[in-house]
Structure 1
């Protein structure tokens, strides 16, 4: 058995929480307005991306791909990030759930062959600062989610645009995955047209204007050497 990936989060009260990741899941097509999601699926189909059999979707990802890193290695130039939030289950109740920022780095070449495959080609980068979900539950929709590709704003939305954490916690409970060590990413929001997504750096921010808090992650994208053979 391989060692579990370990993530450590700083909380606003100055404490830290360390979690061994045993299950990692990426939500997809998870907009709260499912009519807009259907239109987006149709657009992706024109680009060759296979449509899901149901929405919202949920993709299992290898747990070691949950990372807190400043660099992501890729095999070619057509990969990009996606601004998301992440739930970190640290215990048996919803009081034990943390919320942090995340960026799901995705292989766009592989995506046309299988979305689930593309999610396993690069890491999910998570922030190092997290909040207890119960502390922000009463104003989740006011929290903003933004991403910059090469320092150009490419995604700008709020958590009101995505299905709620409660939706996904219920889904985890139904699948017997509500347990310490489960990490779930929310799915992403629309990208701004005309911004180059195949960038050399990505930065994502969750901003809570009510409690004046930010959770951020960022990384550079590094091309690996060309294969031999």
Structure 2
């Protein structure tokens, strides 16, 4: 059981998560998706069979803990809006599709499974923001050698609107079933992919002036042969 909290009043919402989905290649502009696919092909990443593509990940990989453990030095986070199906409707949080970049070169699906997916416990109701969804802004910050650096920043408009994303997933309205969670796509990295000691993700709503954020530390375990 995972407990989230409604930012509006602090009320807890318990969710028995049974399905975790990572929406990949979820951009709105196909030309930009195609360009990114070509870039990744050059470093050995196999192109997706279709776009968007919905990767299944073990539900217990979602965590609201303040620290994750990873194997080896070649992992990094990426900010993503998270939708969470509950018996009180679909909630919105902010999280990170933390990924093993070495594994990504030979299997994107496997790289998604290798690392935990940190998600903030504070949430909004989707119905509170869906009418002005395209006003939302995402950002991430990587702490490297003790200094926090801006890592990603931009509007959600580069990614599929929840209505369209969930329609592609096979749902006819923007509501997840209770127990489902979906990470909804990410933004380009400023500079290059790089590991960090900690990662902070932020979702801002300029209309209300509110924001969600989550920070997690990354503990690297040694690779023993």
> What's the TM-score once normalised by structure 2's chain length?
0.92
Residue 222 (structure 1) aligned to one of 208, 219, 222: 219
Residue 87 (structure 1) aligned to one of 64, 83, 89: 83
Q: Structure 2: any 5+ residue segments left out of the alignment? A: none
1:84/1:103 contact within 8 Å kept: yes
Residue 211 (structure 1) aligned to one of 208, 216, 221: 208
Distance 2:223 2:55 in 1: 29
2:2/2:16 contact within 8 Å kept: yes
The equivalent residue for 1:193 is 191
Residue 21 of structure 1 aligns to a residue whose secondary structure is coil
Distance 1:110 1:65 in 2: 17
> What's the TM-score once normalised by structure 1's chain length?
0.90
1:112-127 to 2 correspondences below 5 Å = 112-127=105-120
1:147/1:205 contact within 8 Å kept: yes
Distance 1:75 1:64 in 2: 17
The equivalent residue for 2:123 is 130
The equivalent residue for 2:181 is 183
Distance 1:90 1:172 in 2: 18
The equivalent residue for 1:38 is 34
Distance 1:119 1:34 in 2: 23
Deviation beyond 4 Å, 4+ runs, structure 1: none
Shift of residue 7, structure 1, vs aligned partner: 3.3
The equivalent residue for 2:71 is 75
Distance 1:219 1:211 in 2: 26
How many pairs does the alignment contain?
A: 218
Distance 1:62 1:9 in 2: 22
2:72/2:220 contact within 8 Å kept: yes
* Offset from partner CA, 1:65-122 (integer Å, 9 cap, x none): 010011111111110001100101113xxx7111110101000000011111000001
Shift of residue 168, structure 1, vs aligned partner: 2.8
